Amino acid sequence: MGDSIASVLGKANPDRSDILAMLQCNEEEAPLLYRRAAAVRDRYVGNHVYLRGLIEYSNICGKNCLYCGVRSDNVKIERYTMSREEVLEAAMTAYKLNLGSIAIQSGENSSNSIVETVEELVRSIRKMTDNRLGITLSLGEQSRETYQRWFDAGAHRYLLRIEASSEALYRRVHPDDDMHRYHRRLECLKAIQETGYQTGTGVMVGLPNQTMSDLADDLVFMRDFDIDMCGMGPFIEHSDTPLGSRGTDNLFLNERFNLTLRMIAVLRIIMKDINIVASTAMQTIDPAGREKAISCGANVVMPNLTPARYRSGYLIYEGKPGYREADESNVSGLNLDLLPGTTVELGIWGDTPHYGRRRTVR
């Protein structure tokens, strides 16, 4: 089997069966996969690691996803929305720390007031940083008009995770109602891409009843959709959700962690020039999870700049690291020598080469 993996890794355009073979490689073969992924990253996007200061704007969410700790039915958390001044202060912290970019994340809310507030925030951030701070949004499903307003205001990246590209699996982890329609999610992703954003998506790895075939299809989906960036991580239970009510098995967590490393590596091999996040969820399972993800081909890290008093309210899964830390500690304590041979780039947006190539082709 080692020879077959080496043969697969030598292919210029791996097909679905090759993708599945890479995901199913054994522990002895995995280092070869990881080394190849890191080499691909270094060749096509450089050995750079980019920073995105994360601002968790609000945990108010109109959705009720069966896996998420901020789901609308969870009455055990205190809901919050950061003030305009708090968001701008966090953005200025990122700017002063020379991070290059921020990512504003929130529960899903499409009210007129939120749409207008986000538009104003984006314009204000661009103005007060002289257009030097890149802005990623991850604010869920919105109308095409809203995506356009935020893009025109100055946001240039948007992350909307599909969570599961299999419609059957997607339906198993979401309520069966009009708020949680798989095809609506796809339509929003397409609208984001057509608006002109650098478009990102991602999946959870290790969902109940998820198969290796599902995960291979997830990777094919991302390749076929022609995404520019990806944020994916292991499924981690939250006890106040239907999928987390039975607790967490640490053995299964470790399996999900290792499988996520393979997903990152294979995605890097098949989508050579995109941005891939080393997610916080990886650190939840392994303190060195972020670094291990980078060693497998990831190239983006997201220090949390959310004010400390809000972080306990944005636990979408349990065990999330850093939520008790002070605002800047995730940056000042960030190991800028994440791995030998990689360089953390400060003051750079870190746009993906894939986006420029995709826009040129179209």
- What is the rounded CA–CA span in Å between residue 151 and residue 284? 33
State percent of the chain over pLDDT 70.
92
* Residue carrying the six token digits 């094919």: 220
Instruction: Give pLDDT tens digits for 235-250.
Output: 999 999 999 977 666 6
Whether 8 contacts 21, CB under 8 Å: yes
Instruction: Give pLDDT tens digits for 169-213.
Output: 999 999 999 999 999 999 999 999 999 999 999 999 999 999 999
Q: What is the mean pLDDT of the chain?
A: 92
- What is the rounded CA–CA span in Å between residue 115 and residue 125? 16
DSSP string, 87-102: HHHHHHHHHHTT-EEE
Whether 256 contacts 234, CB under 8 Å: yes
Which two tokens mark 87? 């968001």
Which of 69, 87, 68 has the alpha carbon at shortest distance from 78? 69
Lowest mean pLDDT among 17-26, 85-94, 140-149, 306-315: 306-315
Domain ranges of the chain: 2-361
pLDDT at 2: 46
DSSP H helices, 196-338, are 212-225, 250-270, 280-285, 289-295, 308-311, 329-332
What is 2-361's CATH topology? TIM Barrel (3.20.20)
Label the pairing between strands 48-58 and 300-301.
parallel
Instruction: Give pLDDT tens digits for 4-58.
Output: 788 999 898 999 999 999 999 999 999 999 999 999 999 999 999 999 999 999 9
Average pLDDT over residues 70-89: 97
Lowest mean pLDDT among 78-82, 169-173, 340-344: 340-344
